[in-house]
Every structure is written in C-alpha cells, then in structure tokens.
Amino acid sequence: MLEAGRIAGNASGRNHGFVLPGFAESMERVVSRVGMEHAKALWDLSEMGLRYVRTTIAEARMPGVAPIAGWLKVSKVDNGDEVLADVQLYGQELGAEVEGWPTERVREVLKTDHYFHALHLPRAFHIHPLNYALGLAERGGSGRRAHLRAHNQRSRSMPKACASASPRRPPACVPAISSSPATSISPR
Ligand SMILES: Cc1cc2nc3c(=O)[nH]c(=O)nc-3n(C[C@H](O)[C@H](O)[C@H](O)COP(=O)(O)OP(=O)(O)OC[C@H]3O[C@@H](n4cnc5c(N)ncnc54)[C@H](O)[C@@H]3O)c2cc1C
C-alpha cells in the first residue's frame, strides 16, 4: 500500500459512511443515458458493492464499524408525485427494495416540519468509515499491523460521522430520529 500520509487519513476515512446502492448520477438520468436494461445491470452491480461491504465487515469482524440499517432520502418540498415516480423506478424497474414514506410518517420519525415525503432504502446502511478503511488495510496485510492496530484503538472512540448526505449531495446534518433510530437521512 502506498500512502503519503496516514492510512485512511483523507476521504476514505472521513466521509459520511453511507453505503448506498446507485451512483453519483440519479438513476433517472442513468436510464435516459444507457437505457433500462443497462441501467438495471449497473444497479445490480452497485447492490453487489453493498453486499461486499456488508459481508467483508461481518467476515473480518471489524471492530467499531457498526453498520446501522436504513437510509432516508427526504424532500424539502412537497413533491409526492416525484417521490412516487422514484419509488416506482427503483422498486418496479430496477428491482430495489424501496419504500415511499408519506409526509406524516416522515414527521413521526423526524421531529421537524421541514421535510415532506421520503424514499426509504431499508437495505442501505451507515458505517464508521475510518474504522472500515483501517479494517480493510489491516485485512490486506499491509505490513503495518501494529501501527494500524494502535490507530484503530484511537479511532474507535471517535464519534460517528453525522448522519447526513449521500456522496452526491452536500451534508445537511439533521438530528435523527425517534421511532426508527437506525435510519440515516439525506435531503433531496
Ligand atoms: C465529505 C465527504 C463525504 C462523503 N461521503 C460519502 C459517503 O457517505 N459514502 C460514500 O460512498 N462516499 C462518500 N464520499 C466519497 C468517498 O469518500 C470517496 O469517493 C473515496 O473515499 C475516494 O477514495 P480514494 O482512495 O480515491 O481517495 P482518498 O480516500 O482521498 O485517498 C487518496 C490517498 O492518496 C494519498 N496520496 C495523494 N497523493 C499521493 C502521493 N503522491 N503518494 C502517495 N499517496 C498519495 C492521500 O494522502 C490520500 O490518503 C464522501 C466524500 C467526501 C469528501
């Protein structure tokens, strides 16, 4: 492994820790660019990525990674029709496990009137990204195991990244959540 600074010292260890299917581009745009068949294949590939992360964490018994289930993409405007269209695209066309949440359900969970409808991906999850990246490095046998272990001990006590944005959106940390404490959220 070649690293100028600390292993996982940059984006890989400092991101929001959202493990989501999909891409930086919206799936609607992906479909319009490559067609439904290829978009579906790309979506499946991204879901495979999710499974890889989940399985790797479990198999390596990575300490301090603590996957937390669920991701909520909330709307800041009252656009139920758009959310419904997204739910249909993700669920029926792409085969994703997805739920459309009406405003009332969102507001039962998030104690604010700021958000409206939401798209919920129950199989997406949230991890401690630094501990995951260090776990991967240690698993890869970088020859710096002792250093990594010491680093890992320190990082485990770090607070988790604020539950916030997807890789494609700027962070907007919103304090979560009452009845569904496991779900991370991201505004549209
Ligand atoms: C604020 C933020 C939040 C994000 N949230 C998410 C998220 O929730 N989910 C998600 O999937 N993605 C997220 N991302 C994106 C994700 O973190 C990055 O796409 C990913 O970490 C990029 O990995 P990388 O290895 O390419 O880069 P990095 O993790 O930045 O690693 C590059 C490394 O190269 C080293 N380097 C640079 N030059 C040299 C050199 N000449 N010699 C040796 N080493 C060198 C640097 O020191 C650095 O450590 C987020 C990104 C940011 C910035």
Q: Kindly report, residue by residue over 81-119, the tens digit of the pLDDT.
A: 999 999 999 999 999 999 999 999 999 999 999 999 999
- Is the distance from CB of 72 to CB of 119 less than 8 angstroms? yes
The residue to mutate among 3, 184, 185, having the most atoms of ligand 1 within 8 angstroms of its beta carbon, is 3
> pTM here?
0.79
With a cut of 50, say whether residue 164 has pLDDT above it: no
Cα-based angle 10, 12, 14 (whole degrees, multiple of 5): 65
Q: Take residue 37 and report the two structure tokens written for it.
A: 């068949």
Per-residue confidence at 181, pLDDT binned at 50, 70, 90?
Answer: very low
Q: Hey, which residues does 184 pair with through a beta bridge?
A: 71
pLDDT at 2: 79
15 CB less than 6 Å from ligand 1?
yes
Specify whether the CB–CB gap between 154 and 48 falls below 8 A.
no
Amino acid, res. 119: L
Peptide bond into 68 cis (omega under 30): no
Task: Check residue 68 and give its pLDDT.
Answer: 95
Residue whose CA lies nearest to ligand 1 atom number 49: 10
Regarding the beta carbon of 22 and ligand 1, being less than 6 Å apart is answered no
Distance 8 CA to ligand 1 centre (A): 8
Ligand 1 pocket: which of 12, 130, 162 to mutate (most atoms within 8 A of CB): 12
7-25 per-position pLDDT tens digit: 999 999 999 999 999 999 9
| pLDDT at residue 145 in the model | 54
| Lookup: tokens for 56 | 């790797």
Atom of ligand 1 nearest to the CA of 126: 8
Asked if residues 7 and 134 have their Cβ atoms less than 8 Å apart, the reply is yes
Q: Where are the beta strands (DSSP E) in 63-174?
A: 68-74, 99-101, 118-126
Find out whether the beta carbon of 2 lies less than 6 Å from any atom of ligand 1. Answer: yes
**pLDDT attached to residue 158:** 45
